[in-house]
Chain A
Amino acid sequence: MMQPIISFQQYSFKYKNQSEPTLKDITLDIYPGEKIWIAGPSGSGKSTLAHCINGLIPFTYGGEISGSLSIAGRNPAELSIFELSRTVGTILQDQDSQFVGLSVAEDVAFVMENKAMPREQMKRETAASLERVGMLEYIEHSPYELSGGQKQSVSLAGVLSTDAEVLLFDEPLANLDPAGGREAMQLIDDIHRQSGKTVIIIEHRVEDVLQQPIDRIVLMKEGRIEAVGAPDEILASDLLRGCGLRPPLYVDALRYAGVSLEGVQGLSRPQSLGISGLGERLDRWSEQAAAQAVSRPAEPLLDVRGLTFGYEPGQPVLKDVSLQVGAGEIVALLGNNGAGKSTLSQLITGILKPQSGSILYAGREDMASWSIRRRGEAIGYVMQNPNRMITQHMIADEVGLGLKVRGVPAAEIKERVAGVLQTCGLYPFRNWPVSALSYGQKKRLSIAAILVLAPKLMILDEPTAGQDDRHYQEFMDFIEQLAEQGIGFLLITHDMYLALEYAQRAVVLSAGEILAADTVASVLSRPEVTEPAHLKETSLSLFAKANGLASPERFVQAFINAEKKGKKGYE
C-alpha cells in the first residue's frame, strides 16, 4: 500500500477571529502522482484547505487546529513555510501578485535567488524551467507584455524549478479567458503526465476543469467534505448542484431531454456517450424545444455607428465598430483580452473621443457633444471589482453620492436612495457600514450607486468574475429583473456561459473589429467566430457534434429555452 503524500485526519481549523471553524472534520488522503480537484463554492473552505497544504496556515494565518495533518510524512507546523514550499509548490490565483519579478527570467529565478544559488547555475535552471512550460522565448519580457495565461505559465516554471513533489493550483482559471483557460488546463495536464507530480487544483469552474482528465474530485460544502469520487460518478449523481456548482451544460441538457444518467460512462467529457439512439432522441427533443421566442424589436437605446479609434495614427484599436442595444435588452460584448472591449466602453462613456463614427442615444440624439458627466446620467458604467468603486463609509451615503454632487435636495436624495436600495435588496442594510457587506452585496451596491442616477443603459464589465455559481445566478437574476423594467444592458465579458444564459444577443469583437452579431447560440456554434476571439465552442455544441446531432445550434437553443423555462418554474 502506498503512503499518502498528504493526509488529513479528523482535521479542523478555526481562524483566530472567527467563532465557527472553517474546516470541520476533514479526513482525506492524497497519494503521490494523483491529480485531485478540490471543488466547492466560495465559503466552502476550499481555499482554507489549500492554505493548510501550502503552509499559509499556520504560518501567516493563525488559528486553532485539531486533528492531524501530515505532508510527506511530516507535520507542517514543525517545518517553516519555506521548507514546506520545497514539497508543495503553489501557483496563486492572482497572476499579477504572483509575478513579482521585473522580467520573466527574474520571476522564475525568484526562489533560487532566495536560496542564494550562484548566478551561473540559476541562469541555467531558469532557462530549463522555462523550456518545460514552452515560455523560453519570452525570457526577457516584462509582465506587461504577457497575457494572463502566459503569466501563469511563468509561475508554473518558477515552481517547477523547486522540484516540489506537489503542485497546488489555487483557482488557476479565475482570470483567464476561455481559450487561456483551456491552454492552462492542457499545460497542467502535460506537466502532470511528464513529471508524475501530485497535482491539486482548487476551482469552482466545473466544465473548464473537466477538459482534461482528473483522478478524483473532492467536493466541499460548508467546511466539510461532501463527497470524493471519480468525475463520472460525481457527474452522474446530482451532487454538484447541491454543492452550489454548475454541472457541465451538456449534462444538464441530457437531464432536460429526460435521458437517465445512471451508470453512464464517460460523462466527464463531451464525447460520444454510446447510448443507443441518443442522437435521435436529442434531435427530437431539440426540435420541439428549440422554438425561439420571437422577440419584439426593442426601441434602440444605444446606437453605435462605424466607430473608429486609435491611440496612434495608422494603428486603429477599433475599426468601424457598430452595435445596438435596445431598451430592456441584454447584449453581451464578447472578445479576448486586448480585443478592444474596454476601449469601446471608454468611447461610449466619453472618456475617449472617436476619430470617426458616431454614438446615438435613444435612437436619435448624437452624444458627441455630451460631457462625460451627462453621459454618466444616461449610461451607467460598473467596474468589475466593486471595491474599486466604493468611496464612502456608509451604504446610504455611497448610493446618494452621485446625487449629492449634482446638487439634488437632501429630501429627494433620501427618497431616491431608499427606492434604489429596495430595488437592489439592500434596504435592510441602509444604515450599515459598507465593510459589513459580502462581495456579492457590494457588487449590488455598486450597481445601486449608478442606478440612482436613473440611467437607461448600463455597461457591466465582467459582472460575474470570481463569483461562484449561486452568487452568479443571484446577481444575474437581479440584472434580468432590471432589464424587465426597461433598462438596457451591455455585458462586457469573456464568460460564454453568462452570455449564453442571459443575453439575447452577442456581439463578438476581435482585434478591434466586429466578427459577428447574432443570437448567442448561433455565434457560439461557429468556430470561425469563436477561435479568433479566444472563445471556445461551447461544450453543448461539441457534445452535439460528437453525438451526430442534426443541428448543434438548434440543440444549444433548446437548452437555453429549457433553462429559462426551468427558472420560471421555480419562481
Chain B
Amino acid sequence: MNRTGSLYVTGNSLFHRLDGAVKLVLFMAWTVMTYMFLDLRVFVLMLVVGIGLLATAGVPFKKMAFLFWLMIIFTVLNGIFILLITPTFGTRLTGTDTPLIPLGYNTINAETLFYVLTLSAKYLTLLPITILCIFTTQPSAFAGSLNRIGVPYKIAYAVSIALRYIPDLTEEFRSTLNSMQARGMGITKEDGSIAQRLRNLSAVVVPVLQSALHRIDSVTNAMELRGFGTEKRRTWYSGKEMEGLDWTLAVLGVLLLAVGIWLKVRVLKGFWYPF
C-alpha cells in the first residue's frame, strides 16, 4: 500500500480510462453472473476474459501478489475441506456415484471432484475483476463517479475522506503503541500472557480513538468553513465526464447480465456434469 492509502497503480489501459461507476456496474454484473451459475464452461470463459483484461491493464504482479495468493490459498483450502468432509456431495447434484479415491472412512467420487473444480473456478473468476477494479481506480475519481450514479455526494465523499485520514490514524496508532511498549504495555511476547497483551492492545485504542474524534471535529470545521454541504450538488476536480466508451461498456455489461439471466433460466439451469 502506498502512503495515500490507496492501491492505485498508474497506467493507461482500457480499465484505467473507464469511469469508476461503470467499473462498479461491470463488477456487479460480473459478480451476479458468477453466483448465478454452477457451470465450468461459463467460468472458464469468464476466467479467460478476465485474465485477458488483467494482462492489458499492466498491473505489476508484485503489487497484486498478496491478493492473488490469498485468494488461491483460500480456494485450495476450501476445496480440500469439501473433499475431506463431504467426499460424496457431488452425488446429490448429479444422482450418479463414481468412486475414485478411497479415504478409509469414505471414498471421494468423481462427481465431487468435478464439483470442487467447478467451485474453485467460480471463486477464481472473481479474482481478476476484483484486482482490476482495485488497482486501476483512482480513489478520488471514484467518489465523483459514485456521486454521478446517484449516491448522495456526502456519502460518496466519505470514501475519499476515509482514504485521506486512514494512514494518519495508522501512524498515530503505531507511535502510541511504541510509547506504550516502553512502559511495559506492549503487545510482544515479553509483555505477558496473551490475555494481558490483548488488554494492552485495547488500552491503546482509547487514546487513538480520542484523537480520531478530535480529528473528526477539526476536519468537520475545516470542511464547513470551506462550504462543504451548503449546495445541493457539487462538482469534482478529479475524474472526467462519461464518454462514449463508458456508456458502451456500461450498456454492454447490463446486456451481458441479461443474456446471463436468460441462459440461467432457459439453458444452463443446474450443475454441469459432462460425464
Contact = CB atoms under 8 A, between A and B. Distances in A.
Given A351-B181, A402-B183, A389 B176 contact: yes
B181 A388 contact: no
B175 interface: yes
Interface stretch (A318-326, A375-383, A479-487, A495-503): A375-383
A444 to B, nearest CB: 16
A406 interface: yes
Contact of A376 (B184, B211, B215, B241): B184
B235 A126 contact: no
A97 B176 contact: no
B223 interface: yes
Nearest to B140: A102
Contacts of A118: 235
Interface string B16-38: 00000000000000000000000
B243 interface: no
A376 B235 contact: no
Contact of A113 (B185, B204, B221, B236): B236
A279 interface: no
Interface string B181-207: 111111010111000100010011011
Contact of A381 (B179, B204, B207, B223): B179
Interface stretch (B52-60, B66-74, B101-109, B159-167): B159-167
Contacts, number: 179
B67 to A, nearest CB: 22
Contacts of A82: 224, 227, 230
A346 B221 contact: no
Judged by DSSP, the binding face of B is helix
A376 B191 CA distance: 12
A530 B240 CA distance: 47
Given A376-B184, A389-B179, A114 B226 contact: yes
A97 B219 contact: yes
A92 B222 contact: yes
A116 B231 contact: yes
> Which of B183, B222, B223, B235: most chain A Cβ within 10 A?
B183
Interface stretch (A104-112, A129-137, A469-477, A540-548): A104-112
B185 A402 contact: yes
Nearest to A92: B222
Interface in A123-150: 123, 126, 142-145
A3 B4 CA distance: 47
A371 interface: yes
Interface residues of A, number: 70
25 contacts: A90-B225, A97-B222, A98-B222, A102-B164, A105-B237, A110-B226, A111-B227, A112-B237, A113-B236, A116-B234, A158-B226, A351-B181, A372-B188, A373-B181, A376-B181, A388-B172, A388-B175, A389-B179, A389-B207, A391-B180, A391-B206, A391-B207, A405-B192, A406-B184, A453-B183
> Which of A80, A115, A375, A379: most chain B Cβ within 10 A?
A115
A115 B227 contact: yes
Contacts of A80: 230
A450 interface: yes
A167 to B, nearest CB: 12
Contacts of A115: 227, 231, 234
B227 A102 contact: no
A391 to B, nearest CB: 4
Given A144-B3, A383-B179, A402-B185, 16 more contacts: A55-B225, A81-B230, A92-B222, A97-B219, A97-B222, A98-B218, A102-B140, A110-B226, A114-B226, A117-B235, A143-B164, A145-B3, A372-B186, A372-B188, A383-B176, A401-B183
